[in-house]
């Protein structure tokens, strides 16, 4: 079973700053099946990035994803007030039932 | 615009069956490219995928190993919805349950979430 580890656990930044979030897999994975989500309190997660680097419909271009193998990154180029939230990475393996989520990174206001 | 509307009880007694329904609008449960999933979230387990149903000339089902012996996800084709049944629940099954649509196992539309508490 592939384990996803996210770092840091919490990222304290100010609006306008750049956020860099990391997700590391316990073994090499396909970037085709890698995604990022944003979740705000009391809300369902929202798909941001799929295929490691493709923005989902309606996602602003300040969000970008990159990476391959075991290391993936979500970058928010300039934080807007609405970007303070928890971010999760997600992967699924060759078998669809092997779906895993990372534990999340909280981006909060400094 | 796809919308998923969840319904079902928020309180279930231990050893009983948790049942939730997800009504689909803006898409069809018969979609040949989508899957219809249940995911739950709790402080102890984080986000946990439970399983899905999908139609590819026939109805198929996939379940997480952790709940495979207790779970059923079924389509309701007459109502364009799908359901979750989780048997023999314990307090460890207390969580917010979400229904979601997937395209190639990326979850692009989510229901509003239902907090289900397992307690006597």
Mean pLDDT of B42-61: 96
Residue A88 has pLDDT above 90, yes or no: yes
**pLDDT-derived band at B95, boundaries 50, 70, 90:** very high
pLDDT of residue A96: 60
Please say whether the beta carbons of A31 and A72 come within 8 A.
yes
What is the nearest CA distance from B115 to chain A, expressed in angstroms? 11
Contact B112 A44 (CB under 8 A): yes
Q: What is the mean pLDDT of residues B20-44?
A: 97
Q: How confident is the model at residue A93 (pLDDT cuts 50, 70, 90)?
A: confident
Residues 6+ apart with CB under 8 A from A46: A37, A38, A39, B110
> Which residues in B have their CB inside 8 Å of a CB on A?
35, 46-49, 51-52, 62-65, 98, 104-108, 110-113
Residue A97: pLDDT band (50, 70, 90) is: low
Query: What per-residue confidence (pLDDT) applies to A94?
Result: 72
Task: Judge contact between B49 and A90, C-beta under 8 A.
Answer: no
Q: In chain A, what percentage of residues exceed pLDDT 70?
A: 97
The terminus-to-terminus CA distance of chain A in angstroms comes to 36
pLDDT of residue B105: 87
| Structure confidence at residue B6 (pLDDT) | 98
CB count within 10 Å of CB B6 equals 20
Contact A35 B106 (CB under 8 A): yes
Mean pLDDT across the stretch B44-66?
A: 95
pLDDT digits (tens, 9 = 90+) for A27-76: 999 899 999 999 999 999 999 999 999 999 999 999 999 999 999 999 99
Q: What pLDDT band is residue A98 in, cutting at 50, 70 and 90?
A: confident
CB contact under 8 A, A96 and B63: no
Nearest to A44 among B48, B51, B111 (CB): B111
Which has the minimum average pLDDT: A41-50, A56-65, A90-99, B86-95?
Answer: A90-99
* Residue A65 to residue B68: CA distance in whole angstroms: 33
pLDDT of residue A1: 83
| pLDDT score for A74 | 98
> What does the buried/exposed string (b/e) look like for B9-34 if buried means 16 or more CB atoms within 10 Å of the residue's CB?
eeebeeeeebbbbbbbeebebebeeb
């Amino acid at each position: 079973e592939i384990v996803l580890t996210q770092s840091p656990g919490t990222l304290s930044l100010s609006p306008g700053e750049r956020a860099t979030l990391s997700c590391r897999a316990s073994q090499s994975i396909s970037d085709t099946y890698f995604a990022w989500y944003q979740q705000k309190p009391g809300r369902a997660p929202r798909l941001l990035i799929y295929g490691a680097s493709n923005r989902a419909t309606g996602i602003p271009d300040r969000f970008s994803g990159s990476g391959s193998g075991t290391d993936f990154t979500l970058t928010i180029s300039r934080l807007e007030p609405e970007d303070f939230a928890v971010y999760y990475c997600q992967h699924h393996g060759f078998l669809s039932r092997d779906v895993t989520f990372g534990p999340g990174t909280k981006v909060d206001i400094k | 615009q796809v919308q998923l509307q969840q319904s079902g009880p928020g309180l279930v007694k231990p050893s009983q069956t948790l049942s939730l329904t997800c009504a689909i609008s803006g898409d069809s449960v018969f979609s040949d490219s989508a899957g219809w999933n249940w995911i739950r979230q709790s402080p102890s387990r984080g986000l946990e995928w439970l399983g899905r149903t999908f139609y590819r000339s026939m109805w198929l089902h996939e379940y997480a190993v952790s709940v495979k012996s207790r779970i059923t996800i079924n389509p309701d084709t007459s109502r364009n919805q799908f359901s979750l049944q989780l048997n023999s629940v314990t307090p460890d099954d207390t969580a917010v349950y979400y229904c979601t649509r997937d395209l190639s196992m990326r979850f692009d539309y989510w229901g509003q979430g239902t907090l289900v508490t397992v307690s006597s």
